[in-house]
Amino acid sequence: MTVRRCPRCNQTYQAPARYCVNDGSLLVEESEPPPGATPSHTPRPRFDDLSGAAAFGPPYLEAAPTVNPLSTLSGQVLDRRYRVAQRLGEGGMSYVYRAEEIETGRIVALKILLPRLSRDPASVERLRREATIAMRLDHPNVCPILRLGETSDRLMYLVMPFLEGEPLSEHEARRGAFSAAEGVPLLIQICQGLQHAHELRIIHRDLKPENIMLVPPAEERPGSEATYRAVVMDFGLAKERRAGPELAKLTATGIVLGTPEFMSPEQIRGKPLDGRSDVYALGVLAFELFSGQLPFPGKSAQETMIARLRGHPVKLRQVKPDFPAKVEAVIHQALAMDPAQRFGSMEEMARALEAAHSPGLLGRIFGR
């Protein structure tokens, strides 16, 4: 059993917990509780996968465990096109596998919709929308969709490029908080990818460390985190700003989509969103990247949401006193409760990060 411990108070937890409910610190993994640690307990799981329409708030809803044949597809051939290899992950809507495209030999990732959802018109519409949106994306810091497929027995799947690397969330948990020198270049890359999406009028709406893949270069310099390429993944909750009434049906009144810890105040309230909501989420992600904890600590997802609606984030330098004040100011502006007080675009936020930390970096990143 995986045991995770708070490095500050020594409280221990069982997976999938990632944060300490006492102080918001990122948990570290260990094989067994250290001497003198508080007895372990399992708090409510963090809402890391709300890829289907999920209502939350008390009482929390937890799906009953089920055994699905999609969990054992390794070694099989899907749709006479793809030779399925190992499973990469699973979520509330799908299983993800590494696979080989038989005709070309190309290695891809397959996202396979659960059969029960393949029979649900709203879920199918959502998958088709994800594919339609993501097929328009073409940028090195964004993961696109290559095709949408459907087998003869109506099993639906998405085909994506396979990326060698690991999610930012796993990287953080393994190595701890980043320094400004390590993290700012990654944040600028994320800004660049999201700027591309926003220029296509696409808002991500579920930005979080689990949805950022760190891809090492072909020739990685040991110990240099800045050499990683950051790729924004999973546009499953993405929304076109000009979307019509068909999307409104998918986000019905009373249903909130996204991950609570990273939602903007307007997203929590169910208000209309624009790219500044992603700016806010990136501010939360940046705060966690550099501190190992969230800017709005709380004992539950509800408490963190309430804190966000009050608009008083913890200052980064309260947690990490030696952190550069100018970079802290950029993150604090991204976390403004009023969207008008945030950066107006991802490129504007990237330029602020560059001015605060690495003059001249944006010329190499944006090529301008």
Residue 290 tokens, joined: 């550099």
Q: What DSSP string runs through 1-63?
A: --EEE-TTT--EEETT--B-TTT-BBPEEESSPPTTPPPPB--PPP-----S----SSSPP-P
Residue 306 tokens, joined: 């309430």
Pair 89, 76: CB distance under 8 Å: no
What DSSP character marks residue 344?
A: S
**How far is 40 from 37, CA to CA, in rounded Å?**
8
Residue 275 tokens, joined: 């790219």
The candidate with the shortest Cα–Cα distance to 299, out of 23, 105, 42, is 23
- Please identify which residue in the block is written with the tokens 């296509």: 200
Which listed residue (206, 274, 278, 338) is catalytic? Answer: 206
Q: Report the chain's C-alpha Rg in angstroms.
A: 20
Pair 19, 294: CB distance under 8 Å: yes
CA angle 248, 199, 327 (to 5 degrees): 105
User: Cα dihedral angle (61, 67, 69, 72), rounded to 10 degrees?
Assistant: 110
Q: List the alpha helices (DSSP H) in 46-120.
A: 115-118
Pair 348, 196: CB distance under 8 Å: no
DSSP three-state, residue 243: coil
Residue 79: active-site member: no
**How far is 20 from 55, CA to CA, in rounded Å?**
24
Residue 125 tokens, joined: 């519409």
Active site residues per annotation = 206
